[in-house]
Amino acid sequence: MAYTKKQIIDALDASLGQVYMAADRLGCTHQTILNWIKRSPDVASIQNKWRGKMLDVAEVKLYEKIKNGDNWAIGFTLGKLGHSRGYKDKQEVDHSGNVAVPQTWAEWVKFETERNKK
């Protein structure tokens, strides 16, 4: 069965941009939806809109965790967004045995907190 652009767009909108759910709504394969996304900027923009909204919600939730002082959220954010301030996802380890380096973000946050008290 051939689907119109409007049917594809409506199905994607109703399924919050989720391809498999949109396909289920229409009774087609996910590949049909993906083909429309690939060849139609209008259809692709619907998926992009919902992905953008999903990322916004996730970032707000992450920010709430940071404000609550959750160490994992603080470490995750510093590791992913703090590169320009010297934070990195991974710590370099001196294998000579001369330097003790925190192995987890929780250890690192604790180490930095104690170091900043001095």
Query: Between the CA atoms of 28, 29, 35 and 40, what dihedral angle is there, to the nearest 10 degrees?
Result: 40
Q: Is there a single domain that holds both residue 117 and residue 61? A: no
Q: Is there a single domain that holds both residue 83 and residue 117? A: yes
Q: Is there a single domain that holds both residue 53 and residue 78? A: no
Q: Which domain holds residue 99?
A: 74-118
Cα 111 to chain centroid distance, Å, stands at 27
Which run of H or E residues covers position 63?
helix 41-67
Question: How many whole angstroms separate alpha carbon 19 and alpha carbon 14?
Answer: 11
Q: Is there a single domain that holds both residue 52 and residue 15? A: yes
Q: Is there a single domain that holds both residue 100 and residue 78? A: yes
Answer yes or no: is pLDDT of 38 > 80: yes
Q: Is there a single domain that holds both residue 1 and residue 39? A: yes
Q: Is there a single domain that holds both residue 43 and residue 85? A: no
Question: How many whole angstroms separate alpha carbon 38 and alpha carbon 114?
Answer: 52
Q: Is there a single domain that holds both residue 41 and residue 55? A: yes
91 against 64, higher pLDDT: 64
The total number of structural domains in the chain stands at 2
**For residue 92, what pLDDT band results from cuts at 50, 70 and 90?**
low
pTM over 0.85: no
What pLDDT does residue 85 have?
84
